[in-house]
Amino acid sequence: MTYSTEKLYEEKVFKDPVHRYIHVRDRVIWDLIGTREFQRLRRIRQLGTTYLTFHGAEHSRLNHSLGVYEIIRRIVDDVFAGRPEWDQNERLLSLCAALLHDLGHGPFSHSFEKVFDLDHEAFTQAIILGETEVNKVLTRVSDDFPQKVADVIAKTYENKQVISLISSQIDADRMDYLQRDAYFTGVSYGHFDMERILRVMRPLDDQVVIKHSGMHAVEDYIMSRYQMYWQVYFHPVTRSAEVILTKILHRAKELSEQAYFFAYEPYHFLSMFKGNVTLQDYLKLDESVIMYYFQMWEDEKDPILRDLCRRFMNRNLYKYVEFDPSKEYKKLQELEKLFKKAGLDPEYYLVVDSSSDLPYDFYRPGEEEERVPIHLLLPSGELRELSRQSDIVDAISGKRRTDHKLYYPKDFILDNSSKRAVKKQIREILGIE
C-alpha cells in the first residue's frame, strides 16, 4: 500500500452542524488536517466582520474547508465512482484540493487584500508549493502532487471536471458556505436540498452538469444564493464594519509612510507597510493578532486611528444613506468640502461603498464566454443553460444587482459642540436633519 492509498485503521469523524458528520479515512487527508497551515484557519472567521451584525457568525475557515471536503468526498465516493465519464484516479486530488482551497486566506482578507495589494490565492499557491508542512504531506504522495493540487485550485489543471467540482457556479465551495453561513447567522434563507443536487450531478466531457430532473433543486440553490447575498453578505451594517476596518488599515499604512511613531510597534504589519510580505510573515497573521493591535491602537495618539479602532472594537459603526452616484455625485463633492470644514477628513469619514466592492457574486448565465454557466442535461442528451430552461432563474438573472451606500459617522455630525453651522448643512444634505 502506498501513502496515497493508505487508509486509517479506523475512520475518523468530526461532528459538524451542517453535514452532521465529516468522514476521514485517507491518511493523506488526516495528515493535512494536522498541519500548522491548516490549523491556522481556525483563527480566521469565514465571514470576516459579519459577526458584528449576526452575532452567531463566528465560524472559521477551517469549518468551511472541512465542509467542502466532505461534499466532494460524497460526490466522488457515492455519486461519481464507477461512472465511465469520471476518472477515479482523480479522487485524492479532488479531496486535497477541496480541503486546501482556502488555505491562503488571511485575517479579514478582503480588506487586507485591498489595502496592502495582497492576493490570498497567490498565498494558497505559495503554501502548497513552498516550504511548509502542507507541502511535505503532499510531496509524500508524489513529487508532482503539490503542483497538481495548486493547479486545480488555480483552475488551470488539465481535467476541468475536477476544477468544476470545487469551483464553478454550482460547486462544493458554494454549497457548503451557503448552508454554513445560514446556520451560523441564524437566518432562514440559504437552505436547499443538497442531497438531491448531489444525486443529479453528472460528470460530462469537461464539466459537471445537472440532470434535468434536478432543475427545481438547483432553482432552490440559486434562490438561496440570491437571498443570502442581499440579506447577509450585502448587509449594510456588515459593510459599515468593513468600511471602518479598511480605513483602519489605510490609516495605519499612511502613518507608517509618514514615519509616525506608534506607541506600540506594529511588528506584524511592518512587511505589509513596506510591501515585502514573505510567506512566513503572512502565516503569522490571524484575527487574534489583528484584534490585539486594534485594541492597542485604541490608545494611540493619532486621533483618526484611535477613533476608528474604538469604533470597530466597540461596534460604534458608521450610519448610511442610500446614494445614487448618477444623480448625487455633485452632492458628494459638496459634502467632501463641508466635512473638511467640519474638521473631518472625508478620506476616512465619508465613504461610498458599492456592491462591486464586495467579494460575492450572483449567478450569471455566462453569455459571451464569461464564466461557465450551469448546464442542464436534457433527456435527449442535449445541454441547456439553466436560465433558458427555468423561468425562476431567468427572472433573478435579469434583476438589478447593484447598490451604493454613503457611510458617515452620525455621532460626529450630530455633535453640536463645535462647527455647528457646517454640521447643520451636512445634515441637511444627508437628509438627516
Partner 1 sequence: MMKDHVRLMQAFFASGEIIGRKKLQKMIYIAKKLSFPFHEKYQFHFFGPYSEELTLRVEELCNMGFLTEQKEKKSGYIQYRYGMTEEGQAFLDAQQVSVMRNLESCLCDLNTQSSRFLELVSTVLYFEGLEREALVDKIHIVKSKQKYTAEEINEAFSYIEHLKTFS
The correct pick among 369, 391, 399, 417 for binding partner 1 (CB under 8 A) is 369
All residues at 6 or more sequence positions from 141 whose CB lies less than 8 Å from its CB, including other chains: 3, 4, 28, 92
Binders of partner 1: how many residues, by CB under 8 A? 33
Binder to partner 1 among 78, 257, 322, 367 (CB under 8 A)? 367
Options 216, 288, 329, 398; binder of partner 1; rule CB under 8 A:
329
| Helix, strand counts (H, E) of the chain | 23, 9
Nearest to partner 1 of 22, 228 (CB atom): 228
Angle of CA points 413, 234, 386, to nearest 5°: 155
Lay out the site mask for partner 1 across 71-110 (x = CB under 8 A, - = otherwise).
----------------------------------------
Contact window for partner 1 (CB under 8 A) among 73-81, 92-100, 263-271, 361-369: 361-369
The yes or no reply on residue 417 touching partner 1 (CB under 8 A) is no
Write b or e for each residue in 124-152: b if 16 or more Cβ atoms lie within 10 A of its Cβ, otherwise e.
bbbbbbbebbbbebbebbeeebbbbbbbb
B/e letters for 216-254, b = 16+ CB within 10 Å, e = fewer, are ebbbbbbbbbbbbbebbbbbbbbbbbbbbbbbbbbbbbb
Residue whose CB is less far from partner 1, 122 or 313: 122
Site for partner 1 (CB under 8 A): which residue of 89, 188, 276, 326? 326
Does 254 participate in binding partner 1 (rule CB under 8 A)? no
CB atoms within 10 A of CB 180: 23
Question: Mask of contacts with partner 1, 330-349, x by CB under 8 A?
Answer: x-xx--x-------------
**Contact at 8 Å (CB) between 75 and 165?**
yes
Distance in angstroms (rounded) separating the CA atoms of residues 231 and 180? 15
- For residue 373, the minimal CB distance to partner 1 (Å) is 11
Tell whether residue 314 is a contact of partner 1 (CB under 8 A): no
C-alpha cell at 409: 459617522
Q: In 3-state terms, the chain is what percent helix, strand and coil (to 5)?
A: 60, 10, 30
Q: Does residue 181 belong to the site contacting partner 1 (CB under 8 A)? A: no
368 binds partner 1, rule: CB under 8 A: yes
Q: Does 129 bind partner 1 (CB under 8 A)?
A: no
Q: List the interface residues with partner 1, window 139-158 (CB under 8 A).
A: 154-156, 158
C-alpha cell read off for 399: 434583476
What angle separates helix 172-185 from helix 61-74, to the nearest 10 degrees?
Answer: 130
Q: How far is the CB of 53 from partner 1 (least distance, A)?
A: 22
Return residues touching partner 1 (CB under 8 A): 113-114, 119, 121, 154-156, 158, 160, 324-326, 329-330, 332-333, 336, 352, 354-356, 361, 364, 367-372, 400-402, 404
